[in-house]
Structure 1
Amino acid sequence: MFNTALFFILLFLGVPIAFVLGISSIIYIVTTGNVGILNSLPQRMFNGVQNFGLLAIPMFVLVGELMNSGGITKRLINFASVTIGSIRGGLAYVNVAANMFLASIVGSANAQTAIMSRTIVPEMEKKGYSRDFSSALTAASSIVGPLIPPSMPFIIYGVVAGQSIGSLFIAGIIPGLLFALAFSILIYFISIKRDFPKEERAGYGTILKTFGSVIPALSIPILVIWGILAGVFTPTESAAFAVLIALISGMFIYKELKIKDLPKILINTVLTSATVTFLVATSNIFGWVLTFEQVPQMIASAILGFAESPLVFLLLVNVILLVVGMFIDGLAALILLVPILLPIALQYGIDPIHFGLIMVINLTLGLMTPPVGTVLFITSSLADVKYEKLLKALVPFLVVSFIVLLIITYFPQISMFLIN
């Protein structure tokens, strides 16, 4: 009981989740008298990160850093603006499209939100859109980040569940596009109601020119997916290949990436990768504590006793994950919950790739819900909008997101189509 209380106290005090998991595990071991186990903790932490698939994380983080420093973000936004900015509410659609393009490079909802909050929100406000709506749309559109490859949550799930990371990447494409389509439909009705402005229509020459400028960036996800499907390289090897393309594009095609920028880029990559790796390590020992206490078995028995069919089980999983996502970082939740929930899903005959997609979407939605939704805090801070107003403006997008989540949950053909 004390350890549970300590866990939630540290969580609500704002202690980083990696330290919460590590401290809670050590306190549990000490208070239960299993002090001898402390000797093996370093080895357990090391074993938790000793997986070849995790090597893709720093590689894809480096791709994002290289492309951002190479000027790709503004080119993506400009391309989206030129192609679809002339219709009513054009900049709102540009926001969704730019997020979708950016997702194919960054693969992180938090990083994506930070970039877009600084760039497109001020531009939308200048054109007559309210700051509340612009910020809410930016936060909501970030959900496509972990769905369209490369995706850090898919890499973590693939490693923990022992599933193909390449298949997870491919499974996320159509759901990511479906979220973008759903937000676009919502924007259409809001733009009519609020009489959003139109942008001046660009000529075909301008469209072709801007398209040519983003080809190197858009080629990264295409080549990654093609290489995995064709068996040319593994997801980890594809990440290294993507780094090479990003480096060449930034230095020799866009010519905005300088050698002097590389130390800062590498430092940012190391910091981000180290944060994720440490989280994986501490989650591993926390998971061991849960296993020692037979928590997974108790949860499994409770779910199996309550859920009489796969449909009820999936609904229950959605509710559990949405609640967990409100309080715990998505990557940590994946590492902790996959060993508990996946075996139950397999008993119900649910495809592990489809189940991984459901878990990632739920936990990503948790980034946009209080009390500790990091996307909300990032958007509120960088876009300079009050938290309460942002949350109110976000409600329609959350409702649409939950509807799309249910569609993806109960129609697995949507996510499995490209794989099959």
Structure 2
Amino acid sequence: MTFVVFLGLLFLAVPISLVLALTALWYIYDSGNAVLLDSYPQQLFGAIESYGLLAIPLFMLAGELMNEGGLTARLINLARIMVGGFRGGLAYINLVANMMMAAIMGSAASQIAIMSRAMVPAMEKEGYDKPYSAAITAAGGLLSPIIPPSMLFVLFGVLAQVPIAEMFIAGIIPGLIMAFLFFLAISLMGLVYQYPKGEWPSRQQAKEYILMGLPAGLIPLIIIGGILTGLATPTESAALASLGALLIGRYVYKDLQFSHLFEILKRTAFNSGMVIMLIAAAGVFGWVIIFEEIPQSAAAWIAIQTADPFMFLLMVVGILLLVGMVIDGIAALILVVPILLPIAQTQFGISPYQFGVVVCLTLVLGLLTPPVGAGLFIASTMTGSPPMAIFRALIPFLLATLLTLVLLSWNAELVLMLV
């Protein structure tokens, strides 16, 4: 009956945080266990009682300040110097700029929204069709959960009780592999569809772009450098990045007005509040799952199916692709980690870092796949292009992501090389 309540609320389009909280309450009511009801508020609070979760609102704030302060536009100009002259130059610029933004924002949905506004009109003006332009921008959002920092990595680190900094480092090589496959997809599509040849900036323009872009480029260096050198925790790096974006946007580029700060803080509070509420509700739901011994049942079933770690990870990818199509990635992560991580570690000897990278990337694919596909609808809303047209243009990038997942599942060293 609890499962029926869960599905019923889900298909009634009740917000996923309420679905999880109400389903847990129904289970407690149905069980008649008064002790569980007394523990409910404690479990809600316990799910968010983690210092590492502070990184989520701080990375969101850094992204908002960068966009408002003009840092995003300067990073796009830096990308022009690197790849602007190739055929399909703006497509490459879009991808490189997304890689830079992925090293700052940590949120795929926010990245898709910001980069759609910045890149799609420019690409359309130069002769690219709108669905393809929106698809590249949305595909760039897939880099966000892999290239550090990543909100999903922060959350996974909290759930799996592994160092968040090491989770970030584990994502560097997989992120570069996926970016390479995306570049390959763009080059092949550029040849097939004969997209316009780009133009390299003149020497004077390049000098100007570098001078104006260097301050913006400090933000990724602050985040990744602080984490890699151990000088700052991910949370401290996020705070420093927010401060840096504020100072650069206000005093270097002068695009950021203090009168806009209230709106920026309000948006950040609203968006991070939704995430934190979801984490709290999913924590209670996960507690119910563990109380019902579902992980043990799942482990017994999987043990019958395979004893090969590679096949286990492919099964996880297949299951999570379906889960990610209907449930928000953060909620799905909180649901599956308590069930599947103990199985991966104890029965198959899989590193939590390899498991975390594979799971986070798989769940983010759900952002771009129907029927829910929040990322698709964000890109559609920002660009005015139909969601299914964007999805068709996305197929080469989705296939590249699946190939990345197969490689990461097959060879753990691709994840563990730098950890």
Asked if Structure 1 and Structure 2 have the same fold, meaning a TM-score greater than 0.5 normalized by the shorter chain, the answer is yes
The one-letter code matched in structure 1 to 2:354 is H
TM norm structure 2:
0.96
1:26 to partner: Cα distance: 1.1
Conservation of the 8 A alpha-carbon contact between 1:84 and 1:94 = yes
> After alignment, is 82-91 or 367-376 more displaced?
82-91
**Structure 2 counterpart of 1:393:** 393
Matches within 5 A, 1:229-244: 229-244=228-243
**Structure 1 counterpart of 2:145:** 146
1:274 to partner: Cα distance: 1.0
1:164 to partner: Cα distance: 0.8
Conservation of the 8 A alpha-carbon contact between 1:88 and 1:191 = yes
**Structure 2 counterpart of 1:171:** 170
**Structure 2 counterpart of 1:62:** 61
Conservation of the 8 A alpha-carbon contact between 2:61 and 2:242 = yes
**Structure 2 counterpart of 1:361:** 361
Distance 1:225 1:120, change over 3 A: closer
1:198 maps onto 2:180 in alignment? no
**Structure 2 counterpart of 1:90:** 89
**Structure 2 counterpart of 1:402:** 402
1:221 to partner: Cα distance: 2.4
- Structure 1 CA distance for aligned equivalents of residues 379 and 5 of structure 2: 29
- Structure 1 CA distance for aligned equivalents of residues 175 and 380 of structure 2: 24
Unaligned stretches of 5+ residues in structure 1 = none
1:331 maps onto 2:330 in alignment? yes
- 1:219-275: per-residue Cα shift (whole Å, max 9, x none)? 222222222233222222222222221221111111111211111111111111211
**Structure 2 counterpart of 1:321:** 320
The one-letter code matched in structure 2 to 1:355 is F
1:295 to partner: Cα distance: 1.2
The one-letter code matched in structure 2 to 1:44 is Q
SS at match of 1:264: helix
- Structure 2 CA distance for aligned equivalents of residues 60 and 160 of structure 1: 19
- Structure 2 CA distance for aligned equivalents of residues 217 and 304 of structure 1: 50
Conservation of the 8 A alpha-carbon contact between 1:150 and 1:221 = no
**Structure 1 counterpart of 2:121:** 122
Matches within 5 A, 1:6-405: 6-347=5-346, 348-405=348-405
1:336 to partner: Cα distance: 1.5
1:389 to partner: Cα distance: 1.6
SS at match of 1:163: coil
1:127 to partner: Cα distance: 0.9
- 1:314-343: per-residue Cα shift (whole Å, max 9, x none)? 111111111111111111111121111111
- Structure 2 CA distance for aligned equivalents of residues 246 and 69 of structure 1: 9
1:38 to partner: Cα distance: 2.5
> After alignment, is 165-174 or 38-47 more displaced?
38-47
1:119 to partner: Cα distance: 2.1
Conservation of the 8 A alpha-carbon contact between 2:6 and 2:23 = yes
- Structure 2 CA distance for aligned equivalents of residues 134 and 229 of structure 1: 34
1:142 to partner: Cα distance: 0.9
- Structure 1 CA distance for aligned equivalents of residues 28 and 201 of structure 2: 65
The one-letter code matched in structure 2 to 1:387 is P
- Structure 2 CA distance for aligned equivalents of residues 246 and 327 of structure 1: 35
The one-letter code matched in structure 2 to 1:366 is G
> After alignment, is 209-218 or 322-331 more displaced?
209-218
Q: CA RMSD in A?
A: 1.5
Conservation of the 8 A alpha-carbon contact between 1:83 and 1:202 = no
The one-letter code matched in structure 1 to 2:380 is S
Conservation of the 8 A alpha-carbon contact between 1:22 and 1:286 = yes
Distance 1:304 1:212, change over 3 A: farther
The one-letter code matched in structure 2 to 1:95 is N
- Structure 1 CA distance for aligned equivalents of residues 13 and 186 of structure 2: 35
Unaligned stretches of 5+ residues in structure 2 = none
The one-letter code matched in structure 1 to 2:100 is F
Distance 1:228 1:81, change over 3 A: closer
- Structure 2 CA distance for aligned equivalents of residues 297 and 117 of structure 1: 44
The one-letter code matched in structure 2 to 1:310 is P
- Structure 2 CA distance for aligned equivalents of residues 11 and 215 of structure 1: 46
The one-letter code matched in structure 2 to 1:378 is I
TM norm structure 1:
0.96
> After alignment, is 274-283 or 381-390 more displaced?
381-390
The one-letter code matched in structure 2 to 1:340 is I
Distance 1:30 1:279, change over 3 A: same
The one-letter code matched in structure 2 to 1:190 is M
Conservation of the 8 A alpha-carbon contact between 2:310 and 2:409 = no
> After alignment, is 44-53 or 382-391 more displaced?
382-391
1:4 to partner: Cα distance: 1.4
Conservation of the 8 A alpha-carbon contact between 2:85 and 2:200 = yes
- 1:41-69: per-residue Cα shift (whole Å, max 9, x none)? 11210111111111111111111111111
- 1:372-415: per-residue Cα shift (whole Å, max 9, x none)? 11111111222111122222222222112111111122122222
- Structure 1 CA distance for aligned equivalents of residues 262 and 139 of structure 2: 33
Conservation of the 8 A alpha-carbon contact between 2:2 and 2:26 = yes
Identity of aligned residues (%): 46
Conservation of the 8 A alpha-carbon contact between 2:156 and 2:333 = yes
- 1:121-144: per-residue Cα shift (whole Å, max 9, x none)? 121111111112111221112100
Conservation of the 8 A alpha-carbon contact between 2:100 and 2:220 = no
1:82 to partner: Cα distance: 4.1
The one-letter code matched in structure 1 to 2:191 is I
1:10 to partner: Cα distance: 2.0
SS at match of 2:142: helix
- Structure 2 CA distance for aligned equivalents of residues 119 and 242 of structure 1: 21
The one-letter code matched in structure 2 to 1:369 is T
